[in-house]
Chain A
Amino acid sequence: MRRLKMLGRVYLCVMLGFLYLPIAVLIAYSFNESKSRAVFTNFTLKWYGELAGNDMILKSLAVSLVIAFASAAIATVVGTLAAVGVNGMSRRARTAVMVLSYVPVINPEIITGVSLMLLFVVGNTQLSNLFSALLGAEVSVNGFGVLTLLAAHITFCLPYVLFNVSPKLRKMDVRVYEAALDLGCNPRQAFFKVVLPELTPAILSAFLICLTYSIDDFIISYFTSGTVQTLPIAIYSMTRKKVSPEINALSAILFVVILTVILGANALDSARERRLERAAREEERKAGMQA
């Protein structure tokens, strides 16, 4: 039994090593003066400096952020409305909507990317023909860019909003809403004063999920972006050059940012839990004193 436990501990360490070693190596090399990955020559920060002066990366970061916030906001609003609407549907209609919503989730990303690309290609030709006919001259429309990217990101974000908000809505006590109506709210007021506050945590987490999926997405953007570059696409074009130490510096920065965000969120979470626990203990103590 003891030996098994030791073995388990060793295994755990090996697996953590497997998960972190590549990232650790990337970060270590970001401080390497030599461009070659074979030798570590001298400690330097110059790759970070070059990264800060790299217009392609900075521009793509801006594009990624704009697309992420815009698509997450639109998807959250449309998806939340859909969750409310779907909640009032018959069982069969609801199942039909859910099945349609599962398609982008289950489909391999490359298929979603390719199918959207084909849609935009067909759309371009149709628009070109339309405008050519209208203007009587050969016009070619190329809509690939920020708008197609935005549409694609909204598309793969939407189901996650629905799946996040719908269960919360179903679990909600209908009587709270009805009580609001009895107390003189009209349905609209009851929705904004009673239902929406109940749903806020789910909506917020849906928004954050959309944000991370959108910033992280490469495959679907790759097929729908035309010549516009998001951050992952810029990273991809850099990896094609085989050796570019700026990627290492970028990885290091992203890792630190992610680490801070996650540790921060965790700390907030556990602080809230501790507060709740303390409140619960306090209640118990008071109840005990009264008894």
Chain B
Amino acid sequence: MIKNKSLASPYIVWSVVFTAVPLAIVIYFAFTDKNGAFTLKNIMDIGQYTSVFVRSIVLAVIATAVCLVLAFPLSFMLSRMRASRQSMMLMLIMLPMWMNFLLRTYAWMTLLERNGLINRFLGLFGIGPFNLINTSGAVVLGMVYNYLPYMILPLYTIMTKIDPSVIEAAQDLGAGNLRVVTKVLIPLSMDGITTGITMVFVPSISTFIISRMLGGGSNLLIGDLIELQFLGNSYNYNLGSAMSLMLMVIVLLCMSFTTADSEEMEAMV
């Protein structure tokens, strides 16, 4: 059609200046000290924060696993509904996503507080009050609540493509419910599962708001550390850049496990 490549040049210039150059600056800061001299000190210093990195990974993995377990049956039921009900249910599930995630997380602060609704409800039965907020459990809950739809959507999309006769065939051949799930449903929805895992894991491991609002001061994550270096009290761009680099490596590692080809990435968008 129109062979005018120059039309893309404003976009390319913009992407280079605001995407490629900033990443190069992050790498530059990560390997230099305050005076601009080359150093590996920043990378080495990350070692002091191993516990934070481990905590971030563990909590993000737990949140991703919980999302997968919760979303799998839900997405399957959704994919087997009548078309008109399907679109309505899907809308119902996606609707909370349109609320800003700060408000959604704030809502859980209200519920989990020491004299919040959950503790008061339990109090009616003479149980509690429990320390619900400012625990790592609350952070995982916040991640699950915020990112669950990211798991449901790709699972549902792939499951609508599963032909019901395949499931019936397995049942006719004597497979019980469990075997249908493990031998038919899971293999056939693998692409959706991997996409969902990336889409939940990446924002979970890099969050700093959820941990700050629901985790109190005691559940620092990688995101909090980075934020502290750039806008908080620690104020060390070089160390912050090194941490950002580390986070990027973790995310890329995760993606290399889960995304096989570029078509899948396109599906994610």
Binding site for B on A (CB under 8 A): 4, 8, 11-12, 15-16, 18-23, 25-26, 29, 36-38, 78-79, 81-82, 84-89, 93, 97-98, 100-111, 114-119, 121-122, 151-152, 154-155, 158-160, 162-163, 169, 172, 174, 177, 187, 191, 195, 212, 216, 218-219, 222-223, 231-232, 235-236, 239, 242, 247, 250-251, 254-255, 258-259, 262, 266
Nearest B residue (CB) for A100: B15
Give which listed residue, B21, B70, B230, B266, contacts A114 with CB less than 8 A: B230
Whether the pair A162, B11 counts as a contact (CB closer than 8 A) is yes
- For the complex formed, measure the closest distance between the CB of A228 and the CB atoms of chain B, giving whole angstroms: 14
B interface, size bucket: 35 or more
Q: Using Cβ atoms and an 8 Å threshold, which residues of chain B touch A108? A: 202-203, 205-206, 223, 247-248, 251
* 5 cross-chain pairs, A with B, having the tightest CB-CB distances, nearest first: A85-B8, A82-B11, A108-B206, A22-B107, A85-B7
* Contact code string B228-245 (vs A, CB < 8 Å = 1, else 0): 001100000100110010
Whether the pair B237, A118 counts as a contact (CB closer than 8 A) is yes
Query: If A82-B11, A84-B4, A118-B22 touch, does A216 touch B100 (CB 8 Å cutoff)?
Result: yes
Q: Using Cβ atoms and an 8 Å threshold, which residues of chain A touch B262? A: 98
Binding site for A on B (CB under 8 A): 1-12, 14-16, 18-23, 25-26, 29, 70, 73-74, 77, 87, 89, 91-93, 95-96, 98-111, 113, 115-117, 120, 145, 148, 177, 202-203, 205-209, 213, 223, 226-227, 230-231, 237, 240-241, 244, 247-248, 251, 255, 262, 265-266, 268-269
- For the complex formed, measure the closest distance between the CB of A205 and the CB atoms of chain B, giving whole angstroms: 13
- Taken together as a complex, chains A and B put the C-alpha atoms of A151 and B18 apart, in Å, by 8
Whether the pair A119, B22 counts as a contact (CB closer than 8 A) is yes
Whether the pair B117, A25 counts as a contact (CB closer than 8 A) is yes
